[in-house]
Structure formats: structure tokens, C-alpha cells
Chains A and B, each alone.
Chain A
Amino acid sequence: MGRSDETDRNAVMLEDVFSAARDEAPVPSQALLGRIMADADDVTRARDAARAAPVRRRGAFAAIAAAIGGWPAVAGMATAAGAGVWIGVAQPPALSTLTGTMLTGTTAQYQLEEFAPGYAALVSFEEELAE
């Protein structure tokens, strides 16, 4: 028997087996069909509930926050406002030098430590070394 005969016989056998398998396809049980429909009902109920839920209204403050860029923007503004109050109350030396002398028209030469008092010790040390 030739190879093509063998191939033909196998093709016929396969088609026959496929046909038998198509005729004996698994049938879903009533229990499975029931579970599938129960899922469909659950999905419908959940969808209806989502549609029926009232839309939450946004408060006035939340609306303003949203208008200026959301809560991160509000946090930034609050930090800036806090820093402003602190500067006004504490009046750091560098700032009082700036506002009390530079901006009032004196012609004096300013030293580093006037704006940054923390560097005063460093400046003195450098001067000692220079001597």
C-alpha cells in the first residue's frame, strides 16, 4: 500500500472521528445554565444599582480646590501663606537688613554676614587667616 493510500485512509478515519465528536458534543447541565443566568441577573442588578446611586455633590471648598488645580495646589498655597506669616512675625536678620537698609537708600557696603549671619564665623576665620 502506498503512502498516499495510507494518507487517504487516515483522512477518512479522522473525518469520521471528528463527525462522531461533533455529534457527541458536551451538553451543559441545567445547573450550569442556572449559574450562568444567575450571573447575568447579578450583573444587571449591579448595573441598575450603579445607575440609581445619587451623584455626590461637591462642596464649595472642594469646587474651589478643583478650580485652582486640586489638593496639591491648595497644599502649595497653604505652605506659601504660612511662610509669609512666619517671615512677617520673626523678621529674620537677613531680611531686616534688606528692608531696613538696602531698600531705604543707604549707600553702605554690605557684607556677606549681614544677609547670612550664619556665615559670620566663617568670614572672621578667613580674615584671621589672611592676616
Chain B
Amino acid sequence: MAFDDAQAVSDEALLVAFGNGDREAAQRLTARLAPRVLGFAVRSLGGDRAEAEDVTQEAMLRLWKIAPEWRQGEAKVTTWLFRVTANLCTDRLRKRRGVDLDSVPEPEDHAPAAVDGMIAADRVQALDRALGELPERQRQAVVLRHLEGMANPEIAEVMEISVEAVESLTARGKRTLARILSGRREGLGYGSQ
């Protein structure tokens, strides 16, 4: 079976099926969850694709290992998986801080660029760089809320904090992002007014 997706079956049911030896269930879970985990990891790690792939593989491996013990109704697979991913990213960032702080790319100068030449990819790149300037927890909250589309209560479970704390982190994160990106408004094709 190809890496397709059948939304009719819940993640939890698929994980229990894999725990009982159903390989196809693992394929469907991989197709469904790996892209989301990778996206979250890439942005949590400041755009480091190779490291994000390692984190994704490790998070999925932990999911496979816990499958036989999973009980439906106890937790959401996505919540558990994103929490594992967030912790793995935090570990990697801590190690990175210790060894190669200087290698973190500096944000580009606000060099003027032709508005017509700006495309969505440039905006995404600018967002990734701006996200890289946020404190880690603010970055995770903003990515989960605005890029993964999670609701605040689920983010609170993933990050193991209160809903109020999530609201505060995302609000502060967005204010900082707006401040950083507003300096590049013209360059990103939004005009000066």
C-alpha cells in the first residue's frame, strides 16, 4: 500500500493496530504524521532540515515502540508525538548552544528588493529567520498555533503548561515577529503604508 491516508480511521486506532502487528497501519500513520512532525521540527530548529529529519525519525521510532502499550481514549497521538518532538528539539538546541552559537545565521540586512520579484518563498524565508530570533518556547507556541493550526488547549498539553501561558507566549511571539518583519515590509511586498 502506498503512503496514502484514510482519515476515516483515527490515529489512535491505527497505532493500536500497529501494536497488534498491522504494518499498513504504520504506513498510514507515517503518511499522516511525518509531514507535520517534520514541519514543526524544521521551524523549531531554525530551518535545519537535516537535524529536523533526524528528530522526525526519532520521534516516530518512539511512537512505534510505545504502540503495544497504547490504550485508545487515554491520549491523542498527535499531542503525545508533538510533545516528544518539542522535547527532542529542545535537547538539540541546548547542545547546539553549547558548541556552535556563532554558526547560527545572522538575519539578513533589510536590503531593498524589487517588490515585483518577491514571492511567497521569500516571505516564508523571512518568517523562518524571524522565528529563529524568538525565544524557544515562544517559537514553539507560535508554530503550533499558527502553522500547525492547533487549538490552545492542545498546545498547552503538548508544552505541559497552562492555556493562559500559551496565550501569553503566542501573543508575545507574534508581537516580536511583527516588529521584526515590519522593518522589511516593503521588501516583502507589503508596501510602506
Contact = CB atoms under 8 A, between A and B. Distances in A.
Q: Do A and B come from one complex?
A: yes
Count chain B CB atoms within 10 A of each CB in A6, A10, A36, A39 and give the residue with the most. A36
A83 to B, nearest CB: 49
B127 A18 contact: yes
- Chain A contact surface mostly: helix
Given A18-B127, A32-B57, A43 B65 contact: yes
Contact of B120 (A11, A24, A48): A24
A33 interface: yes
Contact of B185 (A13, A20, A23, A27): A13
B47 to A, nearest CB: 9
Given A14-B174, A26-B39, A21 B147 contact: yes
Given A25-B147, A26-B42, A44-B21, A37 B52 contact: no
Contacts of A13: 178, 181-182, 185, 188, 190
Contacts, number: 106
Contacts of B113: none
Given A17-B123, A18-B146, A23-B120, A11 B178 contact: yes
A21 B190 CA distance: 16
Given A13-B185, A35-B57, A44-B21, A24 B49 contact: no
A36 B42 CA distance: 17
Given A17-B126, A26-B42, A10 B178 contact: yes
A10 B174 CA distance: 9
Contact of B23 (A17, A27, A41, A47): A41
Nearest to B31: A33
B27 interface: yes
Q: How many A residues are at the interface, by size bracket?
A: 20 to 34
B35 interface: yes
A22 B57 contact: no
A29 B3 CA distance: 12
A63 interface: no
Contacts of A28: 34-35, 38, 53, 56
B124 A20 contact: yes
B53 A40 contact: no
B56 A36 contact: yes
Nearest to A43: B64
Contact of B56 (A10, A21, A32): A32
B26 A37 contact: yes
